[in-house]
Structure 1
Amino acid sequence: MRRSIFIALGIMAIILGAEFLMIDSANLYAAGETRPASFINPAGSPSGNVSTWRPKEWMPWAFLSLGAITVLYAFTLPRRWRSGAIA
């Protein structure tokens, strides 16, 4: 059980780090002022209250390395954890 949780967390960190490598910025819209129809219309702005978020330079590499270390750790967990017995 613990092994699968660590593997899942490590893979999610790797995916998040790869996404941070691919994007320059992300626009966050206010939920109260946004309507779904405004996203379909390319001429209109979905919301007047838009905040732009840019990941720091260290974030992709930190998430990639943290995820890789976590996945490697999960694959090397002792066998006693697999059986559920704590010795």
Structure 2
Amino acid sequence: MWRSLFIALGIMAIIVGIECLLIDSASFYSRSSTTAVDFLDPSGAPSKSITTWKPKEWFPWLVLSVGTLVVIYSFTIPNRIRHSSFD
């Protein structure tokens, strides 16, 4: 159980790192002032409050390396943890 959890977290970190390598910025819309209909209207912005996030140059590489280390660690977890009382 622990091994699969660490593998999933590591793979997710790798995916987020790759996504951050491919984007220049991400726009987040305010949840309280946005409805689904607003996204279908091409005449205006879906929300008045938009937050733009630009990842730093080092951020994707950090997340990729941490995800890779977690996946490698999860493959080296000994089998004796499966027989412990944590399961």
Per-residue CA distance 1:30-87 (angstroms, 9 max, x = gap): 11211211111222111111111111111110111101111011101112113337xx
- Stretches of structure 1 that go unaligned for 5 or more consecutive residues are none
Q: 2:30 aligned with 1:30, yes or no?
A: yes
The percent of aligned pairs where both chains have the same amino acid is 53
Q: Which residue of 2 aligns with 1:49?
A: 49
- Stretches of structure 2 that go unaligned for 5 or more consecutive residues are none
Q: Which residue of 1 aligns with 2:59?
A: 59
What's the Cα RMSD here? 1.6
TM-score by length of 2: 0.88
Amino acid of the structure 1 residue aligned with 2:16: L
TM-score by length of 1: 0.88
Runs (4+) off by over 2 Å: 82-85
Q: Which residue of 2 aligns with 1:77?
A: 77
